[in-house]
Structure formats: C-alpha cells, structure tokens
Amino acid sequence: MRKIFDIHGGVHPPENKVQSLGRGIESAGIPPVLVHPLSQHIGAPAAPIVEVGQRVLKGQMIADAKGFVSAPVHASSSGTVSAIEHREIPHPSGLLAPCIVIDTDGKDEWIALDPIEDYTALEKADLLHRIRDAGIAGMGGAGFPSAVKLSTRDDVVIDTLIINGTECEPYITADDILMRERADQIIAGVKILQHLIQPTEQTLIGVEDNKPEGIAALRAAAEGSNIEVVVFPTKYPSGGEKQLIQILTGREVPSGGLPADIGIVCQNIGTTVAIHRAVQYGEPLISRITTVTGEACRAPGNFEVLLGTPVDYLLKLGGFQQDKCIRLVMGGPMMGFTLRDTTAPVVKTTNCLLAPTQKELPPPPPAQACIRCGMCAEACPVSLLPQQMYWFARGKEYEKLEEHNLFDCIECGACSYACPSNIPLVQYYRASKAEIRKQQQEKVKSEHAKARFEARQIRIEREEAEKEARRKARQEAAKKKAAAGKDPVKAAQEKAATPAVDPAQAAIEKAMAKRSGNAPEETNEEKLARLKKAVETAEKRLESATAKLKEAEAADAPNLGALQTAHERMTEKFAKAKDELQQFEHAANETPSSGDPAADAIARAQAARAKNADKSPLEKAQEQVASLEKRLEKSEQKLAEAKESGSETAEVLEQSTAKLRDKLDAARAELAQLSESEAPVAAATSTNDPAQLAIEKAMAAREAAAKLSPEDKAKKALESLEARVEKTRTKLAEAEENGADTVDVLRDTLAKLEDKLTEARKEAGVEG
C-alpha cells in the first residue's frame, strides 16, 4: 500500500454528488445556435479566421491561437457563421466579450480528420502540435492551454506524471462519470502523456475515495500497465494541483513555482481524454461533459455538451425550474460564480451548472466583524494566515499582503466556508491580487512612459543644441565674410580715423598711407595759398625787373642786355605761376573733394562724361568718325608694313582693318543721319525762340552797360527813358484814335515814365 500524505487544513462540505449520478452520460444534441467565445482559456484570446456568412464544418478551426499562451477555437457542429460580435460569456464580471456565433444546420457534418495509428512514431514536437491545434485547455476549471503545460524544458527531468481525478468540489460528477464510462479512453490518454512526458519513476491517477465505481473502472482499465490508481480520503480541496501533488508524493511545489520545478506534471482526467481523442482520432476539443445539478433541476445528470451550447438549452435538458432557482452557478458551490445571463455558452472549463434552491444554497448571510477565532487559518490548505491577510486587504496594505504570500492562495474558499462571521474572505484576496497585479502593470507602464519621456527630453535638448550650433556657425560665417569684404585700404582708413596711440600702429598706418599713394600731402587750401603766393612773388619780381629795365634804358646802362633777359625770365615765371594757379582753381571748382587719386580719376571721368553729355550727338559722331579714321589709317599703315615684311600677322591685321572700315562706314552713315536731323533743329533754335533772343540781347546790353562809366550809364538810361516815353506817347495817341481799352493803362505807364524821366534828368543834372 502506497503512503498517502496529508495536506494542511481543508473542509468537509456536504458532497451532494449522488443526485447527478443517477444516469449515464447523455448527449445534449445540437442546439440551434452555438456561441464560441474567443477567450475560453488563460492567455491571449484567439483570433477569428472565419467570416460572417461562411459555412463551417464540425471540427473546423474558426479562431487561431494568438501568441504562445493561447488556444484555438473550433466549430462544434456544422453550420453558418451568423455573427462575430460581443456576447454574454460565462464570466463573474457578466461582461460581454467577442464571440463567433454559428447557426447550426443539424447535419453535424465533420471536417476531414487526420487520425493516426501509432502516436509513438511521432516526435514530441509533433504531438504537442496536435494537442495545441486541437485547442485543448485544462478542463478541470482553470483552462490553462495543455500544450504549454506539457512542453517541459528538455533539461528538466520529470519523474512523476499525475492525473487528477480528484474532483473534490461538491455536486460535480463530470470526472466521476467519465471514469465510470470511459476509463479505457482515460488510460489511453495517460499512455500518450507517458510517451510525451517520459516520467522516469511513476504515473499516478489520484482519485478521492468517494468514487468507488470510478476507481474500480480505472483500475480495471489500467490493469497490466505501469499506471497506478491512488485512492485517498475525501477532503476539500485536495483536488487542487499543488494539494494533490502533496497528497500523492509528499512534495510541495515551492511558492511561486510550477510542478515541473519539482519534477512533476499534472493533468486533469477530462483533459487526458481530450488529448487521447486529439492525438488518436485528430478530433479537436469540441465537446465536454458537464454536470447539470441542483434541486431546481428535475432531471440532474451529466451531459456530453458541444462547446458553445447556450446554458439555457442545456438547462432545459436537465429539467431546470427557473422559479425555484435562487441563482445559477457555473462551477461548484465553493469556487463557482453566479451566471447573470442564461444565454451564455458552455465553454471548455464549464464542468458544472448548479441550479440550487433557496434552502439548498442560501445566499451568504451578512458578514459580521471578525472575531479572530482563527478557524480560517485552520482551514487553509496552503497554511496561510487568512485573518492577517483579511486585515491587510481591508487596509490596502499590499506590501504586507505580498509578504504574507497572498499569491500562494488558491482561492479555494475553505476559509470563507469555515468563517463563523461569514466574511467573504476569498473575495478580499481576489480583489487584492487584482489590485496588486494592476499596480505592477501600472508600474511597468509608468517606467515605460518615463523612459519615453526622458528620451523625448534628450531628443529635444539635442535638437536645441544642434540648432544653436548651426545658428552660431552662420553668425561666424557672416562675420568672416564681412571682414573679408572690407579692403585693406578701407580698413586702414577706418583705423586712421580712430586716434592712434600705439607708435607701431602709427608707423603701420603711415606705411599703408604711403602705399595707397596719398602720402604727406597738402590740403587744397594750402596748395591754393602756396600757388597764390608764388604768383604774387613772381609779379613783384617782374615789376621790380621791369622798373630796373626802364631805369637802365633811361640811363642807357651797359647791363641792359642782361636785364632784358632777366625781365623775360620773370615774365615767363609769372605766366607759369599764374597758369598753375588757374589750373588748380579750375580743378578745385570741378572736383570739390580731391585728395584720393581714385576719386580724382572718377571725378575726371565724370567731368569728361559731363563734357560729352554737353556735346550734341552730332559732335560725338563727328569725334567718333575722326578717331576711327585715325585708327584705320594706323592699321592700314601697319598692314602695309606687315605685307612688306611678309609677317604672319598680315592676315589678322587685314581682318581688323576690314572691321575698322566697316565701323567707320557705320559711323559715317550715323553722322550723315544725325547732321540731317540736326540741321533743322539748329535752325529752329536760332530763329524760332524770340525769348532766347531777347535774353541774349539783354545780356549783351547788360555787358555793354557794365563797361560804361556811371555818367555814360545815366546818359544812356536817360536816352532810353526818353525813347520809351516817345514810344508810349505815340502808342497812346494811336489808342486814343482807335478808342482802344488800353488807353488808361498806357496813360498810367506814360505818367510813370515821365516821372522817371524827370528824376533821371535831375540826377544827370546834379552829376553833370
């Protein structure tokens, strides 16, 4: 006899298993509608691979696994996909989740299956692949994808394979009936698992001692194999994976660890059958055995149900009485949850539908204060301190909760069951676990956000720095350009403008000034003064020389000849000085700011241009023609010379001479044109402008007047006045004769003129 170990705590609730064991497994048949939730397992939801309106066959994959921890979903009967939408699912939250809805056609038409004769010929990976593609997830209640659980690492040696047939929770008999009716399938599945896992020591099927018929059937089926069926006393929750391992082997799965860490793999009996069917016949997981029980059901029993069958369809088969039922529970009374809507479907983990009456499973009485009795700690199968954890959970002291190994809690509900104050302890732990997980996720998210924020800050700073660097570079370049653009002369002038203190600097400046050509230089005024002085001295000398010459002439001196030559020289010098002065004065007038040679040149050029501008186009043309003629003459001469000497340049010269000739012809033509057009214009200016003539006359008169003496001037004025008076008188007489309008005006002017005349006569008389 094998040694059976005990687990800490545990409770003994009424089993209530007999009600549903009256009949064997019955087929639930094909419901009109199948609802397949995409998430029936732990892990990522499957992704739909069918479209609305598509016909699907029984066993056809309709949603594929997405990610490693995931499982595909298969159509459990043939029909048409009528919708892929959010529907009620069996979940404590009562939330809607995406589902694939199939309207069945009743034909139950299978897809082509791929059975295999000898699975031992298959590689481990191929076997796992078959299990994974069959969509098998733990059917005991948790729904962990079996393929993931079975893909143990190669370096981990598994010594024990345990098949869980405990089914410790009250009311549920799905595994019991399976053992009774399909023990051979279970054993076949276990053999596949043995082949897959290769347990080095033992293969155990653990069954509680409240299922004698099932145990007998299993033992009969396992006859002759190395599979041992181990029976142990009934106690809730010995069906927990870790608890069963402890009961059968005495080993404890470390906190936060997996059974594989201690060399054990554990699978549920229902899962084993599913694996058998998947590997041997290629059938995916499309049905399961579900217990329908409770006093509100007239015909409790076990049904082989197609996955996706709506709960209300199944309940009808069990003789469900809505009015008697206080609440509908999916799962057992200890760990199950209340179903809010009966349209939710049966899924891979639905082992039981419990429809109890008020008397059978009364709603939990109101919770009262904790009396610190410690019954919960006694009941806990994991040896936790539920009471402590309750206080921490209420105080939201999550760190303390973790220190008290909250995550080792299997949420079996034994503590709540044992609590005399009816405190829903498990709910506290579930909420706290969820909160801690949420905080951890938020922490990860916040770390991520922080990293992104910091990366952004760094990026912005870098961009700013780059911008600044570019701006500076541009500034530098502009400065350099400006410095290079200034010519040295200008720079020197600028420097000269600032008072020089440094002697070296002054020297450099001088040198620069010398180089630029306007070295020690007198200003205009100075030059003018100098020239004037020279003229003056020359004049004086000339005068004295003339005086001496006259004296000598008068005295008939012997040095007359010498004096004469000296006088001549003086006259020459005087003329020269005068010339110079005049020239300078002229230049100064024309170029007000001379000094800079360049400026001078510009001024000269401007002056020349101004002169040109003054010239008429005719004159210009004439000049051009003249210069061209000169050039032509020269080039013809050269050409003749070149021809004589037989030089190579003769040809080139000939060409240029021809060109010049052309140019000359063109210039002459222009000149002819211009002289034609100029002639009438000139005539017009000379004859047609009387005003111009009058002005010229007045100017001439003025000039003449300026030459006259004051007496002459007065005389002339008197004469002219007399003449004007005469003229006016004759005009007046004419006007009076004609009776013209101007008579009055003429009279006025006559009077005025006569006044002026008398005045002028008086003046003349005084002076004369």
Partner 1 sequence: MIELLTQHPFIAALASLAILGLAFGSLLGFAAVKFKTEGDPIADQVEALLPQTQCGQCGYPGCRPYAEAIAEGDAINKCPPGGEATINALADLLDVEALPLDAEEESVPSVAFIREEECIGCTKCIQACPVDAIVGAAKHMHTVVASECTGCDLCVEPCPVDCIDMIPLPTTVQNWSWELPKPAEEVIVEDLIATDRDSNSSNRNEAA
Q: Is 68 in the site for partner 1 (CB under 8 A)?
A: no
The minimum distance between CB 456 and partner 1, in angstroms, equals: 5
Tokens representing residue 533 in the block: 């002085």
Q: Is 438 in the site for partner 1 (CB under 8 A)?
A: yes
The minimum distance between CB 396 and partner 1, in angstroms, equals: 7
The minimum distance between CB 349 and partner 1, in angstroms, equals: 13
The minimum distance between CB 42 and partner 1, in angstroms, equals: 11
In the complex with partner 1, the residue whose CB is nearer, 161 or 412, is 412
**Choices 87-95, 186-194, 518-526, 614-622; region in contact with partner 1 by CB under 8 A:** 87-95
Backbone angles phi, psi at 480, to 5 degrees: -60, -45
CA 356, CA 324: separation in Å to the nearest integer?
Answer: 8
**Cβ(89)–Cβ(347) under 8 Å?**
yes
Candidates 338, 427, 546, 749: give the one binding partner 1 (CB under 8 A). Answer: 427
Could you write out the DSSP letters of every residue in 165-216? E---STT--HHHHHHHH-HHHHHHHHHHHHHHH--SSEEEEEEETT-HHHHH
What residue type is 359 in one-letter code? K
H or E element at residue 26: strand 25-27
Q: Is 95 in the site for partner 1 (CB under 8 A)?
A: yes
Q: With CA atoms as reference, report the closest residue to 147 among 285, 304, 322.
A: 285
In the complex with partner 1, the residue whose CB is nearer, 70 or 280, is 70
**Cβ(353)–Cβ(309) under 8 Å?**
no
Candidates 431, 478, 605, 658: give the one binding partner 1 (CB under 8 A). Answer: 431
Grouping H, G, I as helix, E, B as strand and the rest as coil, residue 289 is: strand
H or E element at residue 55: strand 55-56
In the complex with partner 1, the residue whose CB is nearer, 324 or 532, is 324
Candidates 2, 23, 372, 450: give the one binding partner 1 (CB under 8 A). Answer: 450
H or E element at residue 767: helix 743-767
In the complex with partner 1, the residue whose CB is nearer, 454 or 759, is 454
CA 310, CA 306: separation in Å to the nearest integer?
Answer: 10
Q: Is 323 in the site for partner 1 (CB under 8 A)?
A: yes
Q: Is 439 in the site for partner 1 (CB under 8 A)?
A: yes
CA 338, CA 27: separation in Å to the nearest integer?
Answer: 25
Radius of gyration of the chain (CA): 66
Q: Is 484 in the site for partner 1 (CB under 8 A)?
A: no
In the complex with partner 1, the residue whose CB is nearer, 96 or 557, is 96
Grouping H, G, I as helix, E, B as strand and the rest as coil, residue 266 is: strand
**Choices 284-292, 294-302, 440-448, 550-558; region in contact with partner 1 by CB under 8 A:** 440-448
In the complex with partner 1, the residue whose CB is nearer, 96 or 534, is 96
In the complex with partner 1, the residue whose CB is nearer, 122 or 370, is 370
The minimum distance between CB 168 and partner 1, in angstroms, equals: 23
**Choices 179-187, 286-294, 439-447, 634-642; region in contact with partner 1 by CB under 8 A:** 439-447
Q: Could you tell me which residues come within 8 angstroms of residue 150 by beta carbon, excluding any fewer than 6 positions away?
A: 128, 131, 193, 196, 197, 265, 267
Across the beta sheet with 25-27, the strand order is: 25-27, 301-306, 287-293, 352-354, 328-330, 337-339
Tokens representing residue 379 in the block: 């009941």
**Cβ(74)–Cβ(95) under 8 Å?**
no
Omega of the bond leading into 237 within 30 degrees of 0 (cis):
yes
In the complex with partner 1, the residue whose CB is nearer, 281 or 407, is 407
In the complex with partner 1, the residue whose CB is nearer, 359 or 611, is 359
CA 660, CA 653: separation in Å to the nearest integer?
Answer: 10
Candidates 85, 126, 261, 442: give the one binding partner 1 (CB under 8 A). Answer: 442
The DSSP code for 382 is T
Q: With CA atoms as reference, report the closest residue to 693 among 685, 705, 702.
A: 685
Binding string to partner 1 for residues 348 to 377, with x set by CB under 8 A, is what?
A: ----------xx--x--xxxxxx-------
Binding string to partner 1 for residues 382 to 401, with x set by CB under 8 A, is what?
A: -----------xx-x-----
CA 548, CA 546: separation in Å to the nearest integer?
Answer: 5
Candidates 159, 424, 527, 600: give the one binding partner 1 (CB under 8 A). Answer: 424
Candidates 12, 115, 453, 490: give the one binding partner 1 (CB under 8 A). Answer: 453
Candidates 3, 53, 93, 707: give the one binding partner 1 (CB under 8 A). Answer: 93
The minimum distance between CB 464 and partner 1, in angstroms, equals: 14
What residue type is 710 in one-letter code? P
CA 482, CA 746: separation in Å to the nearest integer?
Answer: 76
**Choices 238-246, 443-451, 470-478, 499-507; region in contact with partner 1 by CB under 8 A:** 443-451
Candidates 113, 157, 373, 434: give the one binding partner 1 (CB under 8 A). Answer: 434
The minimum distance between CB 342 and partner 1, in angstroms, equals: 18
Q: Is 455 in the site for partner 1 (CB under 8 A)?
A: yes
Q: Is 428 in the site for partner 1 (CB under 8 A)?
A: yes
Candidates 16, 20, 39, 291: give the one binding partner 1 (CB under 8 A). Answer: 39
What residue type is 202 in one-letter code? Q
Q: Is 435 in the site for partner 1 (CB under 8 A)?
A: yes
Per-position b or e across 367-382, b if 16+ CB within 10 A of its CB = eeebeeeebbbebbbb
Q: Is 97 in the site for partner 1 (CB under 8 A)?
A: yes
**Choices 93-101, 183-191, 236-244, 509-517; region in contact with partner 1 by CB under 8 A:** 93-101
**Choices 89-97, 596-604, 654-662, 743-751; region in contact with partner 1 by CB under 8 A:** 89-97
Candidates 129, 298, 372, 452: give the one binding partner 1 (CB under 8 A). Answer: 452
In the complex with partner 1, the residue whose CB is nearer, 38 or 197, is 38
**Burial status of residue 258 (CB atoms within 10 A of its CB: 0-12, 13-18, 19 or more):** middle
Exposure of 698 in the CB half-sphere (CA atoms within 13 A): 6
CA 205, CA 218: separation in Å to the nearest integer?
Answer: 9
**Cβ(326)–Cβ(49) under 8 Å?**
no
The minimum distance between CB 435 and partner 1, in angstroms, equals: 7
In the complex with partner 1, the residue whose CB is nearer, 43 or 214, is 43
N-to-C CA span, the chain: 181
CA 206, CA 412: separation in Å to the nearest integer?
Answer: 19
Q: Is 447 in the site for partner 1 (CB under 8 A)?
A: yes
In the complex with partner 1, the residue whose CB is nearer, 144 or 574, is 144
In the complex with partner 1, the residue whose CB is nearer, 256 or 366, is 366
CA 687, CA 685: separation in Å to the nearest integer?
Answer: 6
The minimum distance between CB 299 and partner 1, in angstroms, equals: 22
Question: How many residues touch partner 1 (CB under 8 A)?
Answer: 45
At which residue do the structure tokens 């023990």 appear? 183
The minimum distance between CB 40 and partner 1, in angstroms, equals: 11
Backbone angles phi, psi at 201, to 5 degrees: -115, -60
Q: Which of residues 570-599 bind partner 1 (CB under 8 A)?
A: none
Candidates 18, 113, 220, 449: give the one binding partner 1 (CB under 8 A). Answer: 449
**Cβ(57)–Cβ(111) under 8 Å?**
yes
Q: Which of residues 678-737 bind partner 1 (CB under 8 A)?
A: none
In the complex with partner 1, the residue whose CB is nearer, 43 or 199, is 43
**Cβ(111)–Cβ(77) under 8 Å?**
no
Residues of the shown chain interacting with partner 1 in the complex, contacts defined by CB under 8 A? 39, 45, 89, 91-93, 95, 97, 323, 358-359, 362, 365-370, 393-394, 396, 421, 423-424, 427-428, 430-432, 434-435, 437-439, 442, 445-450, 452-453, 455-456
